Amino acid sequence: MPEVKLDEAAALEELTRLADELAAHDIRYFQDAAPTISDADYDALKRRNAEIEARFPHLVRDNSPSLRVGARRSESFAPVTHGVPMLSLDNAFSDADAAEFDARVRRFLRLGEETVAYTAEPKIDGLSASLRYEDGVLVQGATRGDGRVGEDVTANLRTIGEIPHRLKGKGWPAVIEVRGEVYLGHEEFARLNAAAAEAGDRTYANPRNAAAGSLRQIDPAITATRPLRFFAYAWGLASQPFAATQWEALQAFRSWGFAVTPNAQRVEGASGLLEAYAAMEAARPRLAFDIDGVVYKVDRLDWQERLGFVSRSPRWAVARKFPAERARTILEAIDIQVGRTGAVTPVARLTPVTVGGVVVVNATLHNADEIARKDVRIGDTVVVQRAGDVIPQIVEVVLDERPADSQPFVFPTHCPCSLHTLLARETTTAGVETVVRRCTGEFACPFQRIEHLKHFVSRRAFDIEGLGEKQLTAFFEEGLIREPADIFRLARNDAAMAALRERERYGETSVRNLRAAIEARRTIALDRFIFALGIRHVGETTALVLARGYGDAESFLAAMDKVADRDPEAMAELDALDQVGGAVIEAAAAYFGEDHNRRIVQDLKGQLLIQPAERPKTDTAVAGKTVVFTGSLERMTREEAKAKAESLGAKVASSVSKKTDIVVAGPGAGSKLKTAAELGLQVLTEEEWLALIA
Ligand code: IVH
């Protein structure tokens, strides 16, 4: 029920239910490390709670879930910044996807007829860990965390018998981060659960949750009682090369005293990939531990290096997943959620059902067209599928089970927000209608405004402690905070702070803490600032790329104003940044094309001290230089050349101008080479360029 229609009694009832539900989920997440819903669904419950609280502020409970700010972060382990980020893998789901992976690798490397050798390793269903060895001694062990920063669980990892405290053999680099999977075998899992059940303790849903829960125990003595195991399959930082291929690396790990994944194979070409998958699927039932697919990796490390990364995953590896697990349940209701950008998402509320060991209560229905296409109706029996950490999905309706009186679902025509705006279909810049429906209320739609503000203060953005959803919503309703800059004005507004102090449940200490928390964020890193703005398609990774690309807030904002005016040079400069493509450019142009947004951003900037970005490399021959590649390159592809130059701190532009420092020209170079000559720029051959960066 949209909360505009809720009466007070129903609101109270739902808030009570939400509080219980969220508290239970918190226990499962923190104490048991065995969450039964996805983070997105958890967030949706919290959002629902906040929305109802916003309408009925006097019903906010003293122990409301909205008061537990940032509760999902573990505070028990110290943060560890990985020497090299721990990446994730792209997924492949079919033979065709696997073949396309091979084709893409060959295209990128321009291999022609040559075949590519791969390793095909089981994808272990546990949790990854990074072990830092210095001079062969284990000095630190960490969880993956967000990939960049993990949790220090050294003491717990030391209790795992298969993790050497001191590397054996020889040939290990002086400093190396060995990476792999912490997991629990089937038998060990069954024994652990049986003992827990006997003792009247709670049991774990699956071996992965049990492994995660066991590793993240505050007391290592408890971890020591859990029969955790470890397979080594990758590495991060390595002070020296120690292998020429992935296969050799696995053998090296074994010689240093690690267990490596059994059933790993070295195969050739696309056909080898398909055979390895079939073999792994056949072997799966006899394995003593859970696997959820096969990981394919390009064997040659020099090729891996050339292939590099896109966003958070390597181009040289892919995870081929086993088909998702499915179950039947009843669709009880369809709720509509409004996100930060006004996009409206229908969410299916389900009779709880276990799919692949996890209880599922919500599933995404994607959009109105999807509901219409599948003719999903309330009361239907549906097939739900869950693959890995992906949000559960509704695959199909079981028509035989459809109640006789069922009615097609009528998608709301108006936003559940107080404006009741007509829900328009989004159109692309080319004028094509998309499936996304959006509330066009923008900053007048309280849902969107509040979602924007929530994003702004969220952990990965400004991370303002004490300014959680509840406070933000309350301050919003009272008109104290309508946009980001207001937060910083509030902290310096003595009258407003005094008024806050007078308020029930907002005592002296809370006010002091809030003020300190806000002041602490007045100085902010440029990438966080950019991420916090909530530009579509600009997540943390892209924000960091933008911050590094432009260096400081002034340059970034000046460039964005030009992008909004569709200045070709500014757009080319943005396009030249690694990982920035058309979607980001369009989103930036749209965002900074809005006077409203420009004003909000400038106003905010006036309140802050924005720290310039750390430039990636300054000690290379090409750091800070603007480079243009033209003509055909023989030893590398254009994409590779660009990635390499950027990794050395150079900027790669697509057109030659006065600002260009180096033009690398291959055979067939035309007008750009001419312009370079006219401007008297430094022109290098491919060989000379390679010598320069060697
Ligand atoms: S390689 C750069 N190999 O899968 C990629 N990962 O989605 C490094 N995983 O976080 C990972 N078995 O937890 C690799 N044989 C294997 C793996 C494996 C399981 C997990 C790992 C990683 C996730 C990637």
DSSP 2-26: -TTT--HHHHHHHHHHHHHHHHHHH
Question: For 653, left (φ over 0), alpha (ψ -120 to 50), or beta?
Answer: beta
Query: Is the Cβ atom of 88 under 6 angstroms away from ligand 1?
Result: yes
> What is the CATH number for 373?
2.40.50.140
Q: Is the CB of 651 under 6 A from ligand 1?
A: no
- Based on the fold, state whether residues 227 and 240 are members of the same structural domain: yes
Q: Is residue 652 part of a domain?
A: yes
Q: Tell whether 477 and 576 lie within a shared domain.
A: no
Spacing, Cα 123 to ligand 1 middle (Å): 6
pLDDT in the model for residue 668: 84
pLDDT at 407 over 60: yes
Tell me if 317 CB under 6 Å of ligand 1.
yes
Phi, psi of 327 (to 5 degrees): -155, 160
- Do residues 249 and 231 both lie within one domain? yes
181 lines ligand 1 (CB under 6 A): yes
Residue 390 lies in a domain: yes
Lowest mean pLDDT across 311-315, 368-372, 639-643: 639-643
Residue 265 or 435, more confident: 265
At residue 99, the pLDDT reads 96
Q: What number is the average pLDDT over the span 561-587?
A: 88
Rounded to two decimals, what is the model's pTM?
0.52
> What pLDDT was estimated at residue 71?
35
User: Cα(296) to centroid of ligand 1, in Å?
Assistant: 10
Q: Is residue 101 part of a domain?
A: yes
543 lines ligand 1 (CB under 6 A): no
Burial of 684 (0-12, 13-18, 19+ CB in 10 A): middle
Assess if residue 73 is contained within a domain.
Answer: no
Do residue 160 and residue 128 come from a single domain?
yes
Q: What is the mean pLDDT of residues 196-215?
A: 83
Q: Indicate if 562 belongs to the active site.
A: no
pLDDT of residue 647: 76
- For residue 355, being part of any structural domain is answered with yes
Tell me: pLDDT of 69 over 50.
no
- CATH (domain of 59): 1.10.287.610
* Residue 212 and residue 154 share a domain: yes
Asked if pLDDT for residue 155 goes beyond 50, the answer is yes
Q: How high is the pLDDT of residue 4? A: 56
What local confidence, expressed as pLDDT, does residue 561 receive?
95
DSSP 3-state of 322 = coil
Q: Of 52-56, 515-519, 553-557, where does the model show the most confidence?
A: 553-557
Residue 57's alpha-carbon distances to 4, 53, 303, 611, in angstroms, are: 14, 5, 59, 38
Residue nearest to atom 16 of ligand 1 (CA): 123
Pocket flag, ligand 1, residue 87 (CB < 6 Å): yes
What integer pLDDT is reported at residue 324 of this predicted model? 75
CATH code at 679?
A: 3.40.50.10190
Of 20-29, 327-336, 429-438, 472-481, which range is least confident? 429-438
Distance 377 CA to ligand 1 centre (A): 39
At 427 the pLDDT is 66
Q: What is the pLDDT of residues 656-668, one digit of tens each?
A: 888 899 999 988 8
- 600 and 686 together in one domain: no
DSSP, res 31 = I
CATH of the domain at 579: 1.10.150.20
| 429, pLDDT greater than 90 | no
Q: Rounded to an integer, what distance in angstroms lies between the CA atom of residue 132 and that of residue 154?
A: 10
What does pLDDT average to over the chain?
A: 87
**Are 273 and 359 within one domain?**
no
| Candidate list 123, 297, 625, 642, residue with the active-site label | 123
Instruction: Confirm if 684 and 692 have CB atoms less than 8 A apart.
Output: yes
Domain containing residue 484: 441-521
The answer, yes or no, to whether residue 454 has pLDDT greater than 70, is yes
Average pLDDT value for residue range 551-576:
93
Kindly indicate the confidence band of residue 431, based on its pLDDT and cuts at 50, 70 and 90. low
pLDDT confidence bin for 547, thresholds 50/70/90? very high
Which of 548 and 541 is assigned the larger pLDDT?
Answer: 548
Two tokens, residue 157: 């990892």
Task: Judge if 203 and 285 occupy the same domain.
Answer: yes
Whether 87 and 167 map to the same domain: the answer is yes
In a domain, 433, yes or no: no
Last residue of a domain, one of 401, 427, 459: 401
Is the pLDDT at 238 greater than 60? The verdict is yes
| CA–CA separation, 163 and 180 (whole Å) | 10
Q: Is residue 491 part of a domain?
A: yes
Could you identify the atom of ligand 1 that is nearest to the CA of residue 313? 2
Same domain, 356 and 380: yes
Percent of the chain predicted with pLDDT > 70: 93
Ligand 1 centre to CA of 504 (Å) is: 50
- Which of 105-109, 115-119, 411-415, 604-608 shows the lowest per-residue confidence on average (mean pLDDT)? 411-415
Report residue 73's pLDDT band, with 50, 70 and 90 as the boundaries.
very low
Number of structural domains in the chain: 6
146 and 263 assigned to the same domain: yes
The reply to whether ligand 1 has any atom less than 6 angstroms from the CB of 234 is yes
Q: Which of 264, 293, 321 is the last residue of a domain?
A: 321
Q: Tell whether 334 and 381 lie within a shared domain.
A: yes
- In this prediction, residue 7 has a pLDDT band, given cuts at 50, 70 and 90, of confident
The answer to the question of residue 418 being in a domain is no
Nearest CA to ligand 1 atom 18: 123
Where among 521, 554, 576 does a domain terminate? 521
Share of the chain above pLDDT 90, in %: 45
User: Whole-angstrom Cα distance, residue 229 to residue 305?
Assistant: 30
What letter represents residue 417's amino acid? Answer: C
CB 576 within 8 A of CB 568: no
- Report which of 465, 450, 439 is spatially closest to residue 50, judged by C-alpha positions: 450
What separation in Å is there between the alpha carbon of 84 and the centre of ligand 1?
A: 15
